[in-house]
Structure 1
Amino acid sequence: MSELKVLTMGEAMAMFIADEPGSLEDCLSYKRSVAGAETNVAIGLSRLGIRTAWMSKVGNDSFGRMIMKTLTTEGVDVSNILVDELNPTGFQLKSKVEKGDPVVEYFRKNSSASKISLEDFPLEQLPLTQHLHLTGIPPAISGSFRDLSWQVLNHLKQKDVTISFDPNLRPTLWSNEREMINVVNQFAEKADWLLPGIQEGEILTGYSNKEDIASYYLERGVKLVVIKLGEEGAYLATENERKQVPGFTVTKVVDTVGAGDGFAVGVISALLEGLSYEEAVVRGNAIGAKAVMSSGDHEGFPNMVELEHFMKKGVLQS
């Protein structure tokens, strides 16, 4: 078996995507899929040939089995997934839209993932990995998942494992905005590679422009800050380099959910391959662009052949 390169952890849910545009209460039929920021990243990396493991809990139910089956089919390592006999797998409903962002309703209270604790995953039994990818979602789901995430982060950082962090702010999961900002920034400042959206950066730092947001985190020890700017591409900043990298032209926006996870797939995969920061951001922009042109959270993520073809044929924003 090939060496594990990336470990990620979070909550996966069954996702029901409306077949027709309109309100969720009027929708009669849905397409079922898997949702979860970290599972999206795991699937995307696996499609690019990077052995990735996802660590979590699912319920002993059809949703949990569907998630396990999907990840296994995608080549994601599922050996660090526990089955919870008492608590169910969460699910969500997502509307179909002609433009803009879809409406998403979550049904995740007391889910199996929310019950994860350090007792489930002792630090000394964590799989060996080169890289850890985290988001701000597990710390928001429950106090026990927050504690586990923090312990895993610090344990692996001491072992010189590189860390990427996507804030992925979910205000409705937090008791208040101040707690969200404080906790998410604690994680963000531990990262080697930080991947916030511009609006997330504004909320977390209080600064309104990308240069100041990047400086805020660089001054706190982050090595690379990449700020996602939507159709304008992304802004990368390190101690010695600052540059805005244009995005790829999108012919039609179908579904914006998952674009940030696709971006993370591009950046992480490229950096693990030894590409430059700019090359990594270009790849992130490419996968993000492909993601928004497909329905579903990860369905548009490419394999390496598809990615190389898109990057050769794709048109950069002027």
Structure 2
Amino acid sequence: MPDAEIHPVVVVGEGLVVFVPESDGPLADAAVFRRSLAGAELNVAVALSRADVPAAVISRVGDDGFGQFATAELRRHGVGTEAIQVDPEAPTGLYVKELVTDPGGAISRMHYYRSSSAGSRLSPATLQQPAAAALLQAARVVHTTGVTSALSATCLDAQRALFADVLPERLRSFSAHWRSALWRGREDEGRRVLAELARSADVLFVDVDDAAEIFGIRDAAELRLAVPEPRMLVITRSDGATAFDGAERGEAPSIDFTLVEPTGAADAFAAGFLAGFVSGLSLAGSLARANRLATRVMSSTRDHLG
């Protein structure tokens, strides 16, 4: 097994394979699709690797061609895959992206086929496998997201176990992605779960709209007062981002670019910020790096840096 110390950031979560139409329009009219890697945590790992910060993934994929593809793609991007388990019973999760362009810009509709997927069977036992345990022990940052929280009770148990394992030299990072479709019929539970994990994290990333949904707050300063537990709090908006490290506050305006499709931007942003932190950049420098990576993703139809 490769030395776990070469992976300063370890991500824990679901891996997916996405099919993206070669042309815009209704899904019923799409004839040709491009296959690509997806999944919030995997997007972060790929972006970190592209930013020259070695990262590794702890996840589960099916014993199928899609699982083999996802694992091979991660390796191609330089991401560590030694802690990806192959599930002999559950399939790799899939989704299909529908691209529609109107006068207001690009719109993506996601069609998921991930029920009972291998990724949804992530559990505390996954973290205890030798390869995963070695990676976690050596990591400077462990990262997961609110998408994985919603997939199953065992996924949530794994995240709680991950955040309960407190090491003074390791930061626990959480992107509080609110996905209403995943919490349908249990929205109050979802808000409680994501708020709990957010308060348990050392680094919290949250979009302003998700902050309003989870905490009922949109203003950055008010959110910092309401959620003081994370050492670092990063709030993103369409016009830029605000970050706190303790009492220090940093601001970053948005960057001018041509929007193609926004999926995966938040993951690239989190990766850029974490890459800046691991590399010793200032708060402002980490925000600037985060902005650059996010705009690169939004300039393509991929979910991750290509």
The correspondence of residues 43-122 of structure 1 with structure 2, limited to 5 A, is 43-98=46-101, 99-122=105-128
Deviation at 1:259, TM superposition (A): 0.7
Residues of 2 paired with 1:239 and 1:90: CA distance? 38
Cα distance change, pair 20–210 in 1 and its aligned pair in 2 (3 A): same
- Alignment of 1:275 with 2:285, yes or no, is no
Residues of 2 paired with 1:9 and 1:161: CA distance? 15
State the SS of the aligned residue for 1:200: helix
Deviation at 1:123, TM superposition (A): 7.4
Q: Which amino acid aligns with 1:134?
A: T
Where does structure 2 lack aligned partners over 5 or more consecutive residues? none
Paired position in structure 1 for 2:297? 291
Deviation at 1:159, TM superposition (A): 4.8
Paired position in structure 1 for 2:270? 264
- Picking from 5, 16, 24, the partner of 2:8 is 5
The correspondence of residues 182-261 of structure 1 with structure 2, limited to 5 A, is 182-218=192-228, 221-230=229-238, 232-250=239-257, 252-261=258-267
State the SS of the aligned residue for 1:248: coil
Contact in 2 for aligned 1:123/1:152 (Cα 8 Å): no
Residues of 1 paired with 2:21 and 2:225: CA distance? 41
Residues of 2 paired with 1:158 and 1:247: CA distance? 34
State the SS of the aligned residue for 2:272: helix
Residues of 1 paired with 2:99 and 2:23: CA distance? 6
Q: Which amino acid aligns with 2:221?
A: E
Kindly provide the CA deviation profile for residues 167-211 of structure 1, in whole angstroms up to 9, marking residues without a partner as x.
Answer: 111122124211111101111111122110000111111123222
The correspondence of residues 147-186 of structure 1 with structure 2, limited to 5 A, is 147-155=157-165, 157-174=166-183, 175-186=185-196
TM-score (norm 1): 0.88
Query: Superposition RMSD on alpha carbons, in Å?
Result: 1.6
Contact in 1 for aligned 2:60/2:119 (Cα 8 Å): yes
Paired position in structure 2 for 1:33? 36
Higher mean C-alpha displacement, 123-132 vs 52-61: 123-132
Aligned residue-pair number: 295
Runs of 4+ in 1 over 3 A off after TM superposition: none
State the SS of the aligned residue for 2:139: coil
Kindly provide the CA deviation profile for residues 121-179 of structure 1, in whole angstroms up to 9, marking residues without a partner as x.
Answer: 32776122111011111111100111011101211x23531122111111221242111
Contact in 2 for aligned 1:8/1:54 (Cα 8 Å): yes
Cα distance change, pair 241–119 in 1 and its aligned pair in 2 (3 A): closer
Kindly provide the CA deviation profile for residues 252-307 of structure 1, in whole angstroms up to 9, marking residues without a partner as x.
Answer: 1111001111101110000111111111111111111111111210135xxxxxxx
Q: Which amino acid aligns with 1:290?
A: R
Higher strand fraction (1 or 2): 2
Cα distance change, pair 237–119 in 1 and its aligned pair in 2 (3 A): closer
Q: Percent identity?
A: 28
Cα distance change, pair 165–293 in 1 and its aligned pair in 2 (3 A): same
Deviation at 1:13, TM superposition (A): 1.1
Contact in 1 for aligned 2:297/2:303 (Cα 8 Å): yes
Residues of 2 paired with 1:31 and 1:149: CA distance? 32
TM-score (norm 2): 0.92
Residues of 1 paired with 2:202 and 2:117: CA distance? 31
Kindly provide the CA deviation profile for residues 229-260 of structure 1, in whole angstroms up to 9, marking residues without a partner as x.
Answer: 12x1101234423343112111x111100111
Q: Which amino acid aligns with 1:62?
A: G
Q: Which amino acid aligns with 2:24?
A: P
Contact in 2 for aligned 1:247/1:282 (Cα 8 Å): no
Contact in 2 for aligned 1:101/1:257 (Cα 8 Å): no
Residues of 2 paired with 1:57 and 1:189: CA distance? 26
Where does structure 1 lack aligned partners over 5 or more consecutive residues? 301-318
State the SS of the aligned residue for 2:227: helix
Deviation at 1:89, TM superposition (A): 0.5
